[in-house]
C-alpha cells in the first residue's frame, strides 16, 4: 500500500468540536485508524499536532497521513484480469462506481478464479488493488461501488450500513399492482430445500424492508423503482416473488423464467456524499437493452 495523505478544511458545522469528534463523527474513521493517527502523530491541525480532546475551528486545515502499518488485516491478492474493459461511471482517488455486466460475479469465489468484476477492476487499476464494499448478484447489472484503497473501505462500508448511500434499482416484474407504491416488510432467511435460495421466514430469518414504486405498465408486466432499507441476500428478488410479482426471468424465483434470457434487475442509481470531502454524487448506470422492453 502507498502512503495516503488528505488535506482538509474544517466545515462550519464542526466549529469548536474536538479533534476526535471531527475524525469519528465527521470523517467516520474507525477507532483503530484514529488510534494510529494519534499514536504516530499523523493528524495535524494547521501543521501542528494537537491532542484528541483539543478544539478545532471552522476553516482550520487538517492533514492526515495513513501508511501500511495502519492496516494489519490480511488481504488475498486478486488475479489481474485485463481480458475485458471495466466500465467506469465515476471515480476519484479513493473509490469508483462501475457498471457491472449482467452475468459477471462481483468477486471470485476461489483464489485462483478470475473473470469477476473485481478482477477486471484489478486489471484497470494495476498495480493498485481494488477492494469490495458491497455486492450485486451475478445476474444483476449496474452501479457497483469499489474502493481503491484500504483507508476508505470502512468509511464506505459504514455509509452503506447506515443508509447514507441511496441505491435505486429498476426491475421488470410480472403482473400489475393494485397499489402503485408500497413497502414490503417480511423477514428473509435461508431455504433449507435449496442452498442457492432464500425465503420469507426461512431459517435464521432477519428483518428485511423493501420500498417499491410502479414506474409504468406494459402488457402484463410492470417496471418498478426499488430501494432497500436493509440488505439481505436476494432481498428484492424474494420480496417481489412473495407478492406473486417475480422479477422476469429470475432463474430461482420466477416459475415462468426463460433461462435463455436475462433476469431484468438493474442497479440504476447511486446517490451519496464522498468520504473525506463530502461532495454530493448522483451517478446513473445506463440501462442495458433488455431493460427497455
Closest CA to 186 of 208, 203, 205: 208
Q: Is the pLDDT of residue 129 over 70?
A: yes
Q: Can you tell me the distance from the alpha carbon of 55 to that of 37, in angstroms, rounded to the nearest whole number?
A: 17
**63 noted as active-site residue:** no
Closest CA to 232 of 255, 210, 264: 210
- pLDDT at res. 65: 97
**DSSP bridge pairs for 2:** none
The pTM score is: 0.93
- pLDDT at res. 74: 59
- pLDDT at res. 41: 96
Question: How confident is residue 125, by pLDDT bands cut at 50, 70 and 90?
Answer: very high
Residues 256-271, mean pLDDT to the nearest whole number: 96
The pairing of strands 141-147 and 265-273 is: parallel
- CA torsion angle 11 12 13 14 (round to 10): 70
Condensed to tens digits (0 to 9), the pLDDT of residues 191-210 reads 999 999 999 999 999 999 99
- pLDDT at res. 73: 64
Condensed to tens digits (0 to 9), the pLDDT of residues 205-218 reads 999 999 999 999 99
Average pLDDT, the chain: 95
Residues 227-231, mean pLDDT to the nearest whole number: 93
Condensed to tens digits (0 to 9), the pLDDT of residues 66-112 reads 998 898 765 678 899 999 999 999 999 999 999 999 999 999 988 88
Higher pLDDT, 47 or 113: 47
Question: How confident is residue 4, by pLDDT bands cut at 50, 70 and 90?
Answer: very high
Q: Could you tell me the three cell numbers for 97? A: 462506481
Q: Can you tell me the distance from the alpha carbon of 208 to that of 284, in angstroms, rounded to the nearest whole number?
A: 25
> Given 81, 94, 104, 137, which residue is catalytic?
137
Question: How confident is residue 260, by pLDDT bands cut at 50, 70 and 90?
Answer: very high
Amino acid at each position: 500500500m502507498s502512503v495516503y495523505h488528505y488535506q482538509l478544511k474544517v466545515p462550519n458545522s464542526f466549529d469548536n468540536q474536538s479533534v476526535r469528534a471531527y475524525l469519528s463523527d465527521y470523517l467516520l474513521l474507525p477507532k483503530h485508524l484514529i488510534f494510529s493517527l494519534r499514536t504516530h502523530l499523523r493528524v495535524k491541525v494547521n501543521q501542528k499536532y494537537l491532542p484528541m480532546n483539543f478544539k478545532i475551528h471552522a476553516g482550520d486545515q487538517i492533514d492526515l497521513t495513513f501508511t501500511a502499518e495502519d492496516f494489519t488485516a490480511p488481504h488475498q491478492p486478486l488475479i489481474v484480469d485485463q481480458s475485458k474493459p471495466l466500465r467506469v461511471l465515476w471515480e476519484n482517488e479513493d473509490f469508483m462506481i462501475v457498471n457491472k455486466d449482467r452475468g459477471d460475479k462481483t468477486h471470485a469465489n476461489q483464489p485462483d478464479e478470475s473473470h469477476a468484476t473485481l478482477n477486471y477492476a484489478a486489471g484497470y487499476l494495476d498495480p493498485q488493488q481494488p477492494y469490495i464494499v458491497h455486492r450485486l448478484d451475478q445476474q444483476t447489472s449496474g452501479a457497483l461501488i469499489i474502493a481503491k484503497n484500504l483507508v476508505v473501505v470502512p468509511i464506505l462500508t459504514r455509509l452503506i450500513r447506515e443508509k447514507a448511500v441511496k441505491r435505486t434499482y429498476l426491475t421488470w416484474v410480472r403482473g400489475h399492482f393494485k397499489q402503485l407504491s408500497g413497502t414490503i416488510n417480511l423477514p428473509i432467511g435461508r431455504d433449507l430445500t435449496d442452498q442457492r435460495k432464500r425465503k420469507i421466514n426461512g431459517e435464521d430469518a432477519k428483518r428485511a424492508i423493501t420500498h417499491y414504486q410502479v414506474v409504468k405498465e406494459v402488457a402484463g408486466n410492470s417496471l418498478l423503482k426499488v430501494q432497500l432499507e436493509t440488505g439481505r441476500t436476494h432481498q428484492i428478488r424474494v420480496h417481489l416473488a412473495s407478492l406473486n410479482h417475480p422479477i422476469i426471468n429470475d432463474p430461482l424465483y420466477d416459475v415462468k423464467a426463460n433461462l435463455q434470457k436475462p433476469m431484468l434487475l438493474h442497479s440504476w442509481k447511486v446517490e451519496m456524499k464522498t468520504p473525506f470531502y463530502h461532495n454530493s454524487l448522483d451517478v446513473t448506470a445506463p440501462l442495458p437493452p433488455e431493460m427497455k422492453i
